[in-house]
Chain A
């Protein structure tokens, strides 16, 4: 009996089967974390969408578990961040072992002044459940269609025609854009015959989720992350132990490339390995999977009116938690741009900027996760030698501790140099994502700067009035809403006497020391795609 009770979502007979027609301009394939994030994002902008999923339950098995700070800030904007934070396990201490010996431990986010921690652990099925429940707050805008399998699509003169199969028979759906959030094995990508190129890794990994009442980390009650190179219970390989909510623990074991995956996933094989880690404390096996991974991406994420988002566009190794987090950031980047296209306010370069910006972000994620994977799986005796001496030096040398790569913290990429940003110098440079601050009324900066375009003044600076642009003052008085900051976070993170123009996804579009209405307006038009991507950068 699994720890999570899967409640099937209702199948509702689609109106197209009875001569009706969806009015939604956006069709999303896949009701995973990425597709659902995009649906809620669009709904908050008043844009209708249809979400098509061939299944009718949330993710089977916990799969993605680490949700990064930036993802939680995006979920905050969508109205589910605090629920995720409350339900998740916040871990801050990581311990690294070589053999039986602890090499060093680290504090993940020693910096204060952020609403959300560096990471929480939360099972993918819970993330999806909370997102689906949030979708239900928008019954007129989000049309969730479970057991609706997309089997074909074709571009038309006005959009995309999507062929869907249901238990009641097939129908054709019309939309203006089709967004493929249909995962690593994306049927949409395969149907289009698009190349998905990258690096494959030989090694296989075993994931096991176990349920236990006593903590394998000991009696302190603090959630940690333990990583072993060459542990005594799994010679020559690596192992990872993570805590999830509701007494569930994740174990990740590196296996050889040539072992039989099905055999490795049997309880006879799995149980002794887990006992070697947790000792004689009682546990129950909740979910097991053996997987092999690759790092790969599409050359382009935008193909006419078909847009790829999340794992369908790029896959990474799991080390560093860049798969689910990267996908949510794709949706965050795409939502406001699609809305601007539908509303007719997008410039000619806006959709292409999604392709350029998230292509860059996913390349960065792939680079980081491939490096972690290479460190964890040495390819030759000399690579193994460098790694073992790095681990040996790490016992006493801080520089060597930092060279050890068991997955780098997933951080949002900078979009500096891309066409939507106006170049400039500032403590937080154009292209960077919003850095949170605590405000005197108990709220946080991330609660005020995401969602729409906003011009934020820090300290002594006057903000001009610009059409369709919200203004916000931090530590200043003006004829617009304002907040006092606490501590010296605002000064160190943003400087003073500067105005920052934030995009709806929280990235800095431009910074001004003496903003005029014309300059700010021009920067905002640029951020809406007025400049063609091919010309800039």
Chain B
């Protein structure tokens, strides 16, 4: 997969961590699920979504 984050990478990562600050673990899981759904809608294209689902699953094993 191509690197798309570019110069904003560190800003993105810290924004993501900040979003989780002060949340319980259960609230963090809920936030992550909402993020997955919202990001999926931003990507939109089923082919690309399948590709990232497959890639994420492959790292798990």
Contact = CB atoms under 8 A, between A and B. Distances in A.
Nearest to B26: A385
B34 A392 contact: yes
22 contacts: A385-B29, A385-B30, A385-B33, A386-B33, A386-B37, A388-B30, A389-B30, A389-B33, A389-B34, A389-B37, A390-B37, A392-B30, A392-B34, A393-B34, A393-B37, A393-B38, A397-B38, A397-B41, A399-B41, A400-B37, A400-B41, A403-B37
A393 B32 CA distance: 13
B34 to A, nearest CB: 5
Given A390-B37, A397-B38, A399-B41, 19 more contacts: A385-B29, A385-B30, A385-B33, A386-B33, A386-B37, A388-B30, A389-B30, A389-B33, A389-B34, A389-B37, A392-B30, A392-B34, A393-B34, A393-B37, A393-B38, A397-B41, A400-B37, A400-B41, A403-B37
A182 to B, nearest CB: 40
Contacts of A390: 37
A403 B41 CA distance: 10
Nearest to A381: B29
CB-based closest 8 A-B pairs: A389-B33, A399-B41, A389-B34, A385-B33, A386-B33, A389-B30, A393-B34, A393-B37
Interface string A363-394: 00000000000000000000001101110110
Contacts of B38: 393, 397
Interface residues of A, number: 11
A389 B40 CA distance: 14
A389 B34 CA distance: 6
Nearest to A398: B41
Contacts of B34: 389, 392-393
Interface in B12-29: 29
Which of A389, A390, A392, A393 has most chain B Cβ within 10 Å?
A389
Interface of A is mostly: helix
A46 B27 CA distance: 67
Contacts of B41: 397, 399-400
Nearest to A387: B33
A393 to B, nearest CB: 6
Interface in A381-428: 385-386, 388-390, 392-393, 397, 399-400, 403
Contacts of B33: 385-386, 389
A403 B37 CA distance: 10
Contacts of A393: 34, 37-38
A101 B46 CA distance: 31
A400 B38 CA distance: 9
Nearest to A385: B33
A190 to B, nearest CB: 40
B21 to A, nearest CB: 19
A57 to B, nearest CB: 48
Contacts of A388: 30
A381 to B, nearest CB: 9
A399 B41 CA distance: 7
Contacts of A403: 37
Interface in B29-54: 29-30, 33-34, 37-38, 41
Nearest to B34: A389
Which of B29, B30, B37, B41 has most chain A Cβ within 10 Å?
B37
A42 to B, nearest CB: 42
A389 B29 CA distance: 10
Contacts of A399: 41
Nearest to B36: A386
Nearest to A390: B37
Contacts of B37: 386, 389-390, 393, 400, 403
B56 to A, nearest CB: 14
A112 B38 CA distance: 33
Contacts of A392: 30, 34
A418 to B, nearest CB: 24
